[in-house]
Structure 1
């Protein structure tokens, strides 16, 4: 799976790493260069290898761009962040919860994948998955991986991990 995501962000472009809060701004021409390198099966350019090493201590030297960078196209609506309640169910009984009966409801797996594609097409690069309790959703692992494959940095908001943490 790719180590970095190159994504448009408002009027700029960013390099992102899924497990890091750090982002690196890159000129639009560099993003275009990466897009072309993917189609040509080119090796990682020196500027990208240097940037990855400096920002994330990541060695990309000698790798094909297509194997290490997911290059995102501009979204239709240029939204960069999204939050998704993957389900309404929860196995906790918090006093402050708004869910009421906490029924385990949500979209089917195909509808979840469709929704993730819609968010990608809207331009979402950062996705926060919450619930209910997202970890009790049987489709959570596959939804998380699918969002990452689509080029999103995914964050988990779960009472089981403390609000606003990334999965282990």
Structure 2
């Protein structure tokens, strides 16, 4: 049975990016908050943890920046190993990249979507962007945990995470 929000969303054409994400979050019954007319923050459940999902629209550039934060803080003692792991992980990605926010040492996945001159986001673009962000966080979450808590070296952590992920399929 289709929820009212899903029915409404499926009938809509392309929308302003934040409006489309509001429709998507409502249809999926994900909690969210509008930070302003150009920013939304919500919560999405992944395979390993809940992720904070933030989207910021820059009208002047026609770019929607999507951030997915797995609530992982990087201690100073682990920064070098995490940076090495991020380099290895980012080589595996087609879209977006992992980064550490200097403010608070928070790990995040970041992807910028360049929208056309009209600055509109389609339903399929919104769904794909969110799904890719969550899937990439889920795929590499174990590797970051292996380095942070399991004291594995970055290459071993990545190898173990990719083998585990392949075994779950």
If the TM-score is normalised by the length of the shorter chain, which range does it land in? under 0.3
TM-score using structure 1 length = 0.25
Structure (1 or 2) with the greater helix fraction: 2
TM-score using structure 2 length = 0.25
